[in-house]
Structure 1
């Protein structure tokens, strides 16, 4: 079988009547319908078009919607013991990014299937999602405030106005507005986009800074920094966020070219020839080390070059490759796809969750569904079969 066929086969193994599971491996925490993992797998299924995968995406979205909190939060995951559901909205902190992924997923499903009735069916759930996102601004300042552990990087010490979450919200708004014009939401999308461009990268002559004192101390970068909080900036490079910035065409063409030059320089120097989740790594003795080592509910996994702390995730690199396609860097995107497939096929196509960026050793669970999804999404995007942006 080809790399693509192996990836599709794994997604079919985790496709259930209630939605996509996170892994085909029999590990309890991964045998659940996860919002983030499930939607990303569903996006891959939608681009492929296989009926089983498209149906699993629909079931994922219905499971999440039926267990939405009355306040609007979308579950982090839903576990079923027989027919008895157990719903989690997060571990040490609530998950903020699940709401955006849910809205993106519904709109992408409708975009690909033309099932407008499904949009109307889940419109109330999406609107409740937009309402809870608005409340997470707290000061009505357009940027959501995200707690530490509040998104996919749940054991990494970013917090505050995290860029990744702002960009996902922009994407969710754009997707919804493709189907239904709503002046308040249109204004919100423009406002958030403007705040991101003005605040997450030092630019000569830039105005309207959210935190003027912190911005004055911010150094010039070729990328959008990870987060802003009242105490200042967290200036790490966040691969997922910057990949989304390319996909959404945030900033100018110059911004995008500078970013690609920066990311490709990092990629070329690393053993796996792929992007790390965050960079540079946090090491013992660094100011953030205590926040990193204490930020885990059970065991510490974020050793230097592993997991979120500089580890290499095929899923994240799938989105990086998509960003390269949108930046017209097709050959570079093809290189990324080849490297993703190289990692996925290790140990007879074990699709590990992530890899140590320095040693190349595997980490996390095998048969991780979104590792396969990253490959499928990029492969389909390279054939000009694209998501709604």
Structure 2
């Protein structure tokens, strides 16, 4: 974690007032002729065009009336498509200057492909840019085919390897909820594109969308003792249900695999499953209560990546310690291991706003601005990657573009502009 011994802090009211213009300024700093950088900070490989980060920055840019930022969103997807792998892989990140392309570390990054599809669809829907769609359609179709192959057993859910998505230094793999919800939105995007191009719906794709939504609802929420008809694996589900008495009915399960279920609270997945219209109102209330009473702090109500924290005394700690690309980041309350994320919280603000919970949404948006205003290397408005889950000090890479995107997404959601335009009706 990067922190100062006595960092200057911006007062809460000033942070709220300056939060949006500061966030927009950072998005401009991330804007290049090739698309959005994850960060203009020259740290590790952040100063590159990223599939995942670029799409999230593009979602924020599309909510603004800023022509330069919207044009950068377009260039982001074109650059990613230009460096697509031979089987359809969208780069995890690419440096157009050196032509260095990464499709992942020890495994590929499945969510880069998912965010690419979603981002292309959102750009097209927001701008009506048919030339963009025509140009990128071959890349989109290759991603579509590849995602189908990653189902492996043709049963509707993607299998995600260890380190295969944004939690790339955390212990999570298998049928990961976060990726399934993005897969649902990606298929909605494909259906909307098909309907526009052909003037009629793709009935097979619409059936897949309905089936996937049902699979998510049936396999990731434990409540009561009934085994659903669409349990992916009945014995595995029964074992998971028996072990989930501490969290069943409180939040969505993070994942399952042949070795069992993952029971930690995955904040991003739980937010997306609501925002993308899979959860029902009772499930949303339970998750809201869990977030308010178990997962966030009153002093700075940002959502952690995962909860509870893996501690050195825990069984998972030994495996977590070897999960890193450059240096070990997941000490307790840092990075994915209980670190607090402005970006994830921005999507939660959008979810709360969509449900009319404006007071709660504004409270979390203020926390995003306060976090983004924290100082690193003696300078305020550092836009840290995350905030320490206990000390509330800034951590990770500074000037993180998607921390700014979280503030922009939250602000516009409260003004009635959600980050996702494509839904089941659009498809």
Counterparts of 1:35 and 1:268, CA distance in 2: 29
Partner residue of 2:202? 182
Q: How does 1:77-96 map to 2 (within 5 A)?
A: 77-81=93-97, 84-96=98-110
After superposing on structure 2, the runs of 4+ consecutive aligned residues of structure 1 that deviate more than 6 Å are: none
Partner residue of 1:215? 237
Q: How does 1:153-168 map to 2 (within 5 A)?
A: 153-168=167-182
How far is 1:267 from its partner? 4.8
Unaligned runs of 5+ in 2: 1-16, 195-200
Counterparts of 2:112 and 2:297, CA distance in 1: 33
Partner residue of 2:362? 334
Counterparts of 1:92 and 1:353, CA distance in 2: 23
User: SS of the residue aligned with 1:225?
Assistant: coil
Residue 399 of structure 2, aligned match among 367, 371, 389: 367
- More deviation in 179-188 or 36-45? 179-188
Q: 1:268 to 1:70 in 2, by over 3 A?
A: closer
User: SS of the residue aligned with 2:45?
Assistant: helix
Q: How does 1:247-262 map to 2 (within 5 A)?
A: 247-262=275-290
How far is 1:97 from its partner? 0.3
2:317 paired with 1:285: no
1:284-318 deviation line (CA, Å, top 9, x unaligned): 12121122111112211101111000100111111
CA contact (8 A) 1:278 1:310 kept: yes
User: SS of the residue aligned with 2:263?
Assistant: strand
Residue 37 of structure 1, aligned match among 30, 53, 59: 53
Counterparts of 1:296 and 1:52, CA distance in 2: 36
1:170-203 deviation line (CA, Å, top 9, x unaligned): 1111123223232232222111111110000113
1:210-269 deviation line (CA, Å, top 9, x unaligned): 121222132223111100001110111100001101101213221122211221223554
Unaligned runs of 5+ in 1: none
How far is 1:26 from its partner? 2.5
User: SS of the residue aligned with 1:2?
Assistant: helix
Q: How does 1:300-315 map to 2 (within 5 A)?
A: 300-315=328-343
Counterparts of 2:131 and 2:113, CA distance in 1: 21
Partner residue of 2:7? none
CA contact (8 A) 1:318 1:375 kept: yes
Counterparts of 1:298 and 1:367, CA distance in 2: 19
TM-score (norm 1): 0.96
Higher relative contact order, structure no. (Cα contacts within 8 Å, ≥ 6 residues apart): 2
Residue 202 of structure 1, aligned match among 217, 222, 238: 222
How far is 1:37 from its partner? 0.8
Counterparts of 2:51 and 2:96, CA distance in 1: 14
User: SS of the residue aligned with 1:301?
Assistant: coil
Counterparts of 2:396 and 2:162, CA distance in 1: 21
- More deviation in 365-374 or 271-280? 271-280
Partner residue of 1:226? 254
- More deviation in 247-256 or 37-46? 247-256
CA RMSD between the two structures: 1.4
Residue 183 of structure 2, aligned match among 150, 166, 169: 169
2:83 paired with 1:67: yes
TM-score (norm 2): 0.88
Partner residue of 1:147? 161
How far is 1:329 from its partner? 1.6
Counterparts of 1:233 and 1:270, CA distance in 2: 30
CA contact (8 A) 2:63 2:417 kept: yes
Aligned length: 387
